[in-house]
């Protein structure tokens, strides 16, 4: 799996390594065959608010956005899953609110975004329960338990 990062120096090498591991863990959990690629961008509140407004019609910052690639597109030797955008400011605030590390929060957001790229949703109670169970299993496999 190829992960393209755009973080503008907001993450250190240990954080990037952990987040790469959990992203790969999602592909393994989803039993996704072959080569794939994903782009993950770390933004501030102003940048993500513009995307949230333009793509979701919500003029507020959010923690994570996922933009899956149309599965019918021919992508060559690597299958592009899509793009994930994470707001570092919201992640930091949520980590403090939930009483866990920024690394655990960022890992959760990467897992959440990756699961969306793999078709998971949380529109119904059943879908939400399935997605939450998948998130918990993947995070626990990487030693990132809820605190």
Q: pLDDT per residue over 98-145, tens digit each?
A: 999 999 999 999 999 999 999 999 999 999 999 999 999 999 999 997
Alpha-carbon separation of residue 65 from 34, 56, 117 (angstroms): 24, 9, 10
Per cent of the chain over pLDDT 70 is: 91
* Contact (Cβ atoms closer than 8 angstroms) between residue 114 and residue 27: yes
Between CA 139 and CA 147 the distance in angstroms is 12
Calculate mean pLDDT across residues 9-29.
94
DSSP H or E run through 76: none
pTM for this structure? 0.93
Strands in 36-43's sheet, in edge-to-edge order, are: 2-6, 36-43, 79-87, 64-68
Provide the pLDDT confidence category of residue 77 given band limits of 50, 70 and 90. low
The dihedral region occupied by 76, where left means phi > 0, alpha psi between -120 and 50, and beta the remainder, is left
Strand, helix or coil at 33? coil
- Measured CA to CA, the distance from residue 38 to residue 145 in angstroms comes to 25
Residue 74 has pLDDT above 50, yes or no: no
Of the candidates 126, 90, 83, 81, the one whose C-alpha atom is nearest the C-alpha of residue 108 is 90
């Amino acid at each position: 799996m190829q992960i393209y990062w755009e973080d503008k120096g907001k993450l250190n090498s240990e954080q990037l390594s952990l987040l790469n591991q959990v992203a790969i863990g999602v592909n393994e959990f989803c039993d996704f065959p072959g080569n794939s690629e994903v782009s993950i961008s770390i933004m501030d509140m102003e940048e993500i608010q513009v995307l949230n407004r333009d793509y979701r019609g919500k003029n507020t910052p959010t923690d994570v956005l996922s933009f899956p690639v149309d599965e019918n597109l021919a992508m060559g030797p690597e299958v592009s899953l899509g793009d994930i955008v994470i707001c570092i400011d919201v992640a930091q605030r949520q980590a403090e609110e939930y009483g866990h590390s920024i690394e655990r929060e960022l890992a959760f957001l990467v897992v959440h975004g990756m699961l969306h790229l793999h078709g998971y949703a949380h529109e119904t109670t059943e879908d939400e329960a399935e997605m939450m169970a998948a998130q918990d299993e993947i995070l626990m496999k990487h030693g990132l338990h809820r605190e």
